[in-house]
Structure 1
Amino acid sequence: MDYLIKIIFVVLIAVYGLVMNMNLSTSARSTKYLKEDLEIAVHDAALFQDQQKLANGEFVFDKNKAEQEFKNSFKQNTGLTDSEFKIIEFKIFDQSNSTFPVTYKATNVKFEDVFSSPTIVAVIETTVNKYFTGGYSEETVRRVASYSYKVNLDQSVDTTTSIIEGLKTNEKGLVWAVPFTKNITSQFSPDRVHPITGRVESHKGIDISASGVENQPAVAVRDGKIAYAGVINGYGNIVIVDHGNGFETRYAHLNSIKVTTNQKVKTGQVVGLIGSTGDSTGPHLHFETRVNGVPIDPLNFYK
């Protein structure tokens, strides 16, 4: 009888240990995934800048749109409903309210950082069992994530620009963005595998590259005004040209920028030299065309 009791006791201890191990494993996995989902949501929120401010050379987030996009993205990625999580803090630091660098210290979680450029930071609260289906723990977790743009707030750049003569315009009045080559290494695509992250993400433009392309000029494809010239995460050094009537072109991953915000440019004018800044695996020009903010395949304008 004593032997049977010992066996039962050992089994109970083993079961208890297994349950506790499952709880710890569930908590560890869920909070890891929660952090990743939160980082994605903050990144998505940071895509919303005030376009009017940007056109005037000021980097300012559209707070209402950014916060709404953060909530939508977080709910979509986690599957949580409004009642299953709380947004403890949602802070925006940009040129409308901050002088950089700025020190941020969260009030509800142990987190402190110094931001040297426009940043969005968010803190959320939920419980393990709400986030991770099948979880047993009622543990309350708070997580924080931030996303910063590496924006060059100093516009004192080299503005020694030139217009490349002899470039032929097509029937839409556009010249090709890279006089050096017409070779396209990556097409516009809604579901391209990102060469760095390995994730399936939309490729909102085309990549133009060939041997020897580094430091070759990228030119404005039509007359316009520089809406932004500086640095944006992912894009690296980028120039955005407003051509009017909602038509915009973007020239990214530049080694150097040759224009400044609000400057008027002519067709064929050099806006920068091709490079590999930002999320890039080699020298190329990432070229985008947008109509009313919506990315359109650039080749639609060159057929």
Structure 2
Amino acid sequence: LEKGALNFNISSFFYGDFFDFLKSKKGKGIGIAFPPTYKGGYEKMFSYVEDSFRYAHAPYNVFDPKEGGVMFKCLLENDENIIYSDRYFQEINDFLVGKINLGPGKNPIYTYSSVKRDKHYYIERDKNIKPSCIHILPMDYEFTDSTEISAKICPVSDVNYYKAFYMANKVNYTTGGDLGLVFMADGKAFGFSSFSKKLSTLEQIFMQSDFVVNSNTQRLSKLLIMLVKSHNVRMLIARKMANYYDGVKTTVYTTSPISMKYRGVLDLERRDEGKLMYSANFLDDSLKDLYRLWLKKYKK
């Protein structure tokens, strides 16, 4: 850590039980601890010592993450602290201020805080972006044969708003293009896309961004890209942009030779240094047709 990973110097080192270290923390500052979170780790490594010698064992505590709520309650009540954990603790529910869903197969992160309410710590992306009124699809929503898929034009400001939640930080979320589309399942949004007329040609419209919300459903991004090629979307774009485009194109900024996200749905048109260009023609298939194809091909 001291070699420049986070560009700071270590002010002190505590040699002892990590809980004693946490309890000794007072005042402003950041403390980093690496408690053992399972039994049988170091003990197993030195099991040959146990088999070879008889000696007086030193007493020590083993931290059980399941019992962390009692320990964290002490920290939160005695001083201003912020705790991140992948476990929910009923004992400190009063201090719960946030829950972060990381996606399929990953435990959510719970944030507990006893920091005074008149102090707020957060990343502010753009003061001018207004909250969207579009309702997002629940993370545990199950896509079935009876799901009603739809797409409609939405303000670019809605796309920009949700970019801040569902796209990587390195993406420029401020530029939403000239046209925004929202894709819905049973009336709730599962994805967005935006298009730029300036970066388009007469034949191909440029898709500036496309992303889906956090979901337990695998390959949801494939569904959105497939739906972009539908006749329904082509007509929405034609009416708004006053041009009947033949197809769609987009750029992927990556050093990889291919993009797994677009592979099999769009065609790799060109490779440049640090980026790939993908494109495809619009289809005569409807949203419903392409959704059924996705269910058959990608949905497990």
Normalised TM-score (structure 2): 0.22
Specify which structure has the higher proportion of strand.
1
| TM value normalised by structure 1 | 0.22
Relative contact order, CA 8 A, sep 6+: which one is greater? 1
